[in-house]
Chain A
């Protein structure tokens, strides 16, 4: 108790010291001349493009948002793990399978850590991966179309948090479990957690050409909480590092019970070694049940396949594959510098920031200098692997990124600031306040061998008074800093959508050039597509009615439909015949129990309507597509269930 009081007083003293420090900085910044200079730095003239893309996770929105830097303008919200009525994602027949899981259809997700694909340790801008925390899944977004094209469920995992970081050549996207669970899941008392629960670290291979994901193996680790992770790079390529907390293995009141050990671990996993073991037939196939959902851009349709087994590896069976590096205290971020030498453990309850040395780690392993073991996994000596300590840099370190010029930038949640320090000398060179309580930060190219260190942005957890008030619920706020000089300079506040946990950013040029404008109609292989106005038809199969419909400025074909009856299941299969950039058409029918469809040029999307009322119901285009958009409408007649109204359809003439 005494120690708690003592440390609280110590904390408060430091807090007050930092607060007063922040105040001076803040008042300095408010001088007029400086402010106008800053405005120029974030001003992107009308029609000009930003220099960087930022992909910011939506947290509990389940999605991923796309921003431009330095302007802080939002360009798109990409639906990933949540239904998105704006486009019909997760509502249309084609995209419902994307949200299928072993627990059935799940309309919502909690997206966390986007990471961009890499080649030779450099960001290549082909794909972006993002994890879903709640029902463990990893998604892949194709940066040609900015659409989610693949989602794989991660079995044996719970709280998919130390994810979805990619290795140097995108060999793997890695997904670690935050909550350990019984593996396989079974009915057992919660109090028997310790020694019985396990944590799975999943290595999902990514096919070099297509990017197709496949769970290559899962390492079944002791029942700690695996919080964040990063790949080794350069000299440490082939290793992966995971921070852990709750090495106490508590199952209740974790805020206290998981904060008792002075040191938790960073788990160092030699995945190359395990890969070789697996390639030689190592590991065991374990019964499992997980969904693999793939969107085909030619059929414009997703399919969901249930997979029934997964390869698991017991780390003890692969000597030399896994080691524990003691790290104070409940570390959150686990960050590897561009050279691959330094592994930063952001001990969120520690007063100091711990940096491990990869070279020293190898040396300690070679000389078998072990301090002990945990569940058969060797623990190295803290002092043997320590590269250095940043002394008392702030309170509550969470995450560190690098500028490629020998500097590191760490966020401090409790003291609400970003601290810049030097790799090697471990001295603090600058600190800037954040408003307020920063979580993660991003430097373009941050998780790569070549960061593009011009800007850094901090994603704050608390917004309070930064913008015009909008009632109790506020968007979160990000802050952009210029880091090109010796000192960081705050440039801009911009609101973010959902709760950004993390972001990935990169120079715009690579992605911009490849960004697709339309879908080629010639490549459309959708089974219900219609390719001309004359191609359209209405087909009854029992009580299912399939309407093969087209849209082009400014009409639907057909736009008069009869013969549908109450109790029918009506499928509107709408093909947008446009082949011009940025001419989508929308579709909605009165009384539809689902979202609209927003159909891009060359695309086919389907919506199901189960009419419950007799009448003549209008449908219309929901996107202001053209000068005659208001006229883009039609009618569908719904007759009583026992009627004999024949199926008929037309465009431009009265139905006989």
Chain B
């Protein structure tokens, strides 16, 4: 097996780590939470960082009229299927394809990941802005519009008494590594292809 194909094989397998490790994490810090509240986002689940965190996030958020974090969302079915399908495609390419196919997989993954992030952003936006009209506490921005409580897509942000942090977790790093590896596989494959073959 060629070196580039071996790298591609690795690239195809790395995203499977998402079935073990969380993709993303949102952490909420406040003075009265010496141990911050946190939620780990897996491709098929929202999980407590510490026991009962999601329940406690919901309890906090109901004061400003935010909806409860759902037990399940359609993405929990779509994301795992997406990962499995792209892994199968990646494996086929690794065993059968040449470097041009590696680039195809790379682009496919970039597009799917971007779509995933956009979907996450839409959910976050809805979660932070679609507030119960009977909310206990209503806040407005300086310009008079209703204040939203959307956590950042990436990075840290102050939301009332909380400081919210949103960062990728180990699963996302494996995914990123896999995507990067497919690009390397492409480059290695391309370089070797240019060398005149002396058989």
Contact = CB atoms under 8 A, between A and B. Distances in A.
B55 interface: yes
A579 B63 contact: no
B136 A579 contact: no
Contacts of B59: 552-553, 578, 580
A552 B68 CA distance: 15
Nearest to B52: A579
Contact of A627 (B55, B56, B63): B63
Contacts of B55: 579-580
Contact of A580 (B56, B63, B136, B137): B56
Contacts of A580: 52, 55-56, 59
B51 interface: yes
Contacts of A552: 59
A520 to B, nearest CB: 8
A324 to B, nearest CB: 57
Interface in A577-597: 578-581
B59 to A, nearest CB: 5
Interface residues on B, range: under 10
A476 B20 CA distance: 58
Contact of A579 (B35, B51, B137): B51
Contacts of B35: 581
Interface string B30-67: 00000100000000000000011001100100010000
A553 B51 CA distance: 18
Contacts of B63: 627-628
Report which residue of B59, B136, B137 has the largest number of chain A beta carbons within 10 angstroms of its beta carbon. B59
Contacts of A627: 63, 136-137
Interface in B123-138: 136-137
Contacts of A518: 52
Nearest to A631: B136
Nearest to A627: B63
Contacts of A579: 51-52, 55-56
Interface in A611-634: 627-628
B56 to A, nearest CB: 5
Contacts of B56: 579-580
A581 to B, nearest CB: 8
A628 B136 contact: yes
Interface residues of A, number: 9
A222 B15 CA distance: 80
Contacts of B136: 627-628
Nearest to B55: A579
Secondary structure dominating the interface of A: loop
Interface in A137-186: none
Contacts of A628: 63, 136
B182 to A, nearest CB: 43
A518 B51 CA distance: 10
Contacts of B51: 579
A580 B56 CA distance: 7
Nearest to A47: B34
Nearest to A520: B51
Interface string B109-144: 000000000000000000000000000110000000
A552 B55 CA distance: 11
Interface string A567-583: 00000000000111100
A6 to B, nearest CB: 65
Interface string B54-98: 011001000100000000000000000000000000000000000
A627 B55 CA distance: 17
Nearest to A581: B35
A437 B140 CA distance: 64
By CB atoms of chain A within 10 A, which of B51, B52, B55 has the most?
A: B52
Nearest to B59: A553
B187 to A, nearest CB: 51
A579 B57 CA distance: 11
A524 to B, nearest CB: 14
B27 to A, nearest CB: 16
Interface string A617-656: 0000000000110000000000000000000000000000
A275 to B, nearest CB: 43
Nearest to B35: A581
Interface in A334-368: none
Contacts of A553: 59
Nearest to A579: B52
Interface string A495-538: 00000000000000000000000100000000000000000000
B154 to A, nearest CB: 28
A285 B127 CA distance: 70
Interface centre among A580, A581, A628 (most CB of B within 10 A): A580
B134 to A, nearest CB: 10
A553 B63 CA distance: 9
A132 to B, nearest CB: 37
A627 B30 CA distance: 15
A553 B56 CA distance: 10
A134 B59 CA distance: 47
Nearest to B60: A553
Contacts of B52: 518, 579-580
A464 B187 CA distance: 87
A518 B52 CA distance: 10
A628 B63 CA distance: 9
B64 to A, nearest CB: 11
Contacts of A578: 59
B37 to A, nearest CB: 9
A552 B35 CA distance: 21
A627 B137 CA distance: 10
Nearest to A602: B52
Contacts of A581: 35
A579 B50 CA distance: 11
A9 to B, nearest CB: 63
Nearest to A577: B55
A559 to B, nearest CB: 15
A258 to B, nearest CB: 56
Nearest to A601: B52
A518 B136 CA distance: 27
Nearest to A553: B59
A628 B135 CA distance: 12
Interface string A183-225: 0000000000000000000000000000000000000000000
Interface of B: 35, 51-52, 55-56, 59, 63, 136-137
10 contacts: A552-B59, A553-B59, A579-B52, A580-B55, A580-B56, A580-B59, A581-B35, A627-B63, A627-B136, A628-B63
Given A579-B52, A627-B136, 7 more contacts: A518-B52, A578-B59, A579-B51, A580-B56, A581-B35, A627-B63, A628-B63
The 9 closest A-B pairs by CB, nearest first: A579-B52, A580-B56, A553-B59, A579-B55, A628-B136, A627-B63, A580-B52, A579-B56, A552-B59
